[in-house]
Structure 1
Amino acid sequence: MELRHLRYFDAVAETLNFTRAAERLHVTQSTLSHQVRQLEEELGTALFDRSGKQVRLTEAGEVLRSHMTPAMQQIDLGLQALRSPGEAITGSIRLGTTPSFNTQMVPTCVATLLKSYPGLQVTVEELAAGQILKRLRSGHLDMAVSYPPGEGSDLWFEPLYNEELRLVVAREHPLARRRKVRMVELHNLRMVLLPAQFLTRKLLDDCFAASGARPVVVAQLNSVSPMIELIRQTDLAGIIPESAVGQREGLRVIPLEDPTPIRTPGMLWPKGASRSPVLKHFAEIIRRAAGEAA
């Protein structure tokens, strides 16, 4: 077994796609498949289930990756230390994120990262999804937590989980005691929403149109935290992921249906861009946080 076998396995395990993994490693798909087969033969067990439309890790593959990832990170850090002897791990990471992920999940992930790399500099930009795509393509961001970039994109997208958007109102609001609310019931309701340039707003506008509801949009704010505070202090309602609301006092979070607004956040990187061990570690931190949020 050689180190390259493990790097090939790790790339496929991360993307769950041999074509994407081969592009990332700058090797042919046949070379990658052959190297992974060699590793499986040497270990005497299948690491990937290739029987369906999507490649999946087998139980043996999950076990190997869970033990291998920390070791690979230490190897990469050791190699980096050899290239810069005596220096602490420094550098910078530039992350783009949409507002709802910047209330709790992203700050928590950054805090976890800085515990491991206190000499690191992290810049987080809160942007609309369209702005994030532009800054990734121009090289002004290293990665992002956002939404799918669309078909044929020059960016990698790794979905993290599916999340429902919920109606959020103050405890004194007329809808506060409801267990569920249909979208059509939001007709003429006074609301605060994200501005039109946000993909989440487009999703909500499509749901309003599908249900025949036309809410009265009294306020539009481009950040979730002030939206939540405005809802708490007024009679306005908003539609926000429950994970962004958290345990704030004075609020009620109510499921929506007919239709239920659902979005799929994920991580984005420029295709072909090299990723440092620290950036890979940060991605793992985000995956774990997303698993908890899901």
Structure 2
Amino acid sequence: MELRHIRYFLAIAETLNFTRAAEKVHVTQSTLSHQIRQLEEELGQPLFARIGKRVTLTEAGQSFHEHVVPILRQVDQAVGALKEAPDDLSGELRIAATHSFNVQLIPLCLSRFMQRLPRMKVVVEELSGDRISEGLVDGSLDLGISYRPAIPRGLRFEPLYNEELKLIVASDHALARRKRLRMVELNGARMTLLAPHFSTRQMLDECFAAAGARPQIVAELNAISPMIELVRRTDLCSIVAENALGNEPGVKAIPLESPTPVRTPGLLWSQQAQRSPASRFMAETIRQVVMQGPLVRR
């Protein structure tokens, strides 16, 4: 399957007319029909129902349409970002991320960004989700990587992927050999978690309540790094996104279930401020890294 097949398919899906679709994509009607037959053969099912001159989407065609529209939009955004980011672009880009994304995702994206735009200066801050939102609203930040803010405040949020949070314990902890753990099993467990005002902590509290578990919270911190270090040095356990660990030695991550705590990180920017070409290019760089997957999701 090639990109032109998707564009031809969408042209017909939008016009429901092969003649007008052919004009739209600047090919002959016979070429368009041939390309669509190739696509249908590759997919193994018809995408359009043809009754006389009337054309409609089949159920498979409707499903295919729902999936390829966002894919093509991302491709077009990527092409647009490249065109908007000339090699000689200079200036300063101010971005911020929460700890989970600052460990691995941001360094990888920065390396690609700086190779493409060597004259740009990038200022990166590690902040809480609330501080990121405030910076975007007051204009001190151009782009944020965080979770969906509880209060939008005129911000645009673009989801990137779903992120599973896991229990972490020291390598010699009694639970370190477990392959999986139910949330209810953390009832009475000695834990260190983020302070209650963090949205991640609020989500975890909801998960504990749903499971009927009441862990013993003996330490509340306002940052992930010291929390991980505390877990490594004590018998306490915690719950964090696995990508926040990096290659931390002496710590074991264990999947949780019933319920599984999941968060959705994404890109944040102000709807009021005009986005610079550098900001758009950084956003597209982050999308591309995330789509490749293993580094940011392992």
Query: What TM-score range do you get, normalising by the shorter chain?
Result: 0.7 to 0.9
Amino acid at match of 2:104: Q
Are 1:273 and 2:284 counterparts? Answer: no
Count of aligned pairs between the two proteins:
246
Q: Which residue of 2 aligns with 1:238?
A: 238
How big is each residue's C-alpha offset from its partner over 1:40-60, in whole Å with a ceiling of 9 and x where there is no partner?
A: 8134579xx9957x965359x
**Structure 2 counterpart of 1:287, which letter?**
R
1:42 to 8, 21, 25: 25
| Counterpart residue type for residue 131 of structure 1 | R
Question: Could you say which residue in structure 2 is the equivalent of 1:107?
Answer: 107
Query: Could you tell me which amino acid in structure 2 is paired with residue 113 of structure 1?
Result: F
Q: Distance in 2 between matches of 1:162 and 1:40?
A: 40
Aligned to 2:84: 76
Look up the match of 2:163: 163
Render the CA deviation track for 1:35-90: whole Å, top value 9, x for unaligned.
Answer: xx9998134579xx9957x965359x74x9648845x4454345xx8xxxxxx432
Aligned mates of 2:77, 2:209 — CA distance in 1? 49
* Pairs within 5 Å for 1:1-294: 41-43=24-26, 51=62, 56-57=67-68, 62=72, 66=75, 69-70=78-79, 72-73=80-81, 75-78=83-86, 88-150=88-150, 154-291=154-291, 292=293, 293-294=296-297
Q: Give the AA of the match of 1:141.
A: L
Task: Point out 4+ residue stretches in structure 1 off by more than 6 angstroms.
Answer: 37-40
Partner Cα distance (1:152, 1:127) in 2: 17
Q: Sort the Cα spacing of 1:43 and 1:55 in 2 relative to 1 into closer, same or farther, 3 A.
A: farther
Listed one character per residue, the Cα deviations across residues 264-290 of structure 1 (whole Å, up to 9, x for unaligned) are: 111011114322222111111211222
Cα deviations by residue, 1:158-198 (Å, 9 ceiling, x for unpaired): 10001110001111101111111111111221112111221
Of the structure 1 ranges 173-182 and 103-112, higher mean CA displacement relative to structure 2 is found in: 103-112
TM-score by structure 2 length?
0.72
Scaled by the length of structure 1, what TM-score is found? 0.72
Q: Secondary structure at the match of 2:196?
A: coil
What root-mean-square deviation, in Å, do the aligned CA atoms of Structure 1 and Structure 2 show? 3.2
Gaps of 5+ in 2: 1-6, 8-19, 37-56
SS at match of 2:96: strand
Name stretches of at least 5 consecutive residues in structure 1 with no aligned partner: 1-8, 10-36, 82-87
The alpha carbon displacement at 1:237 in A equals: 0.7
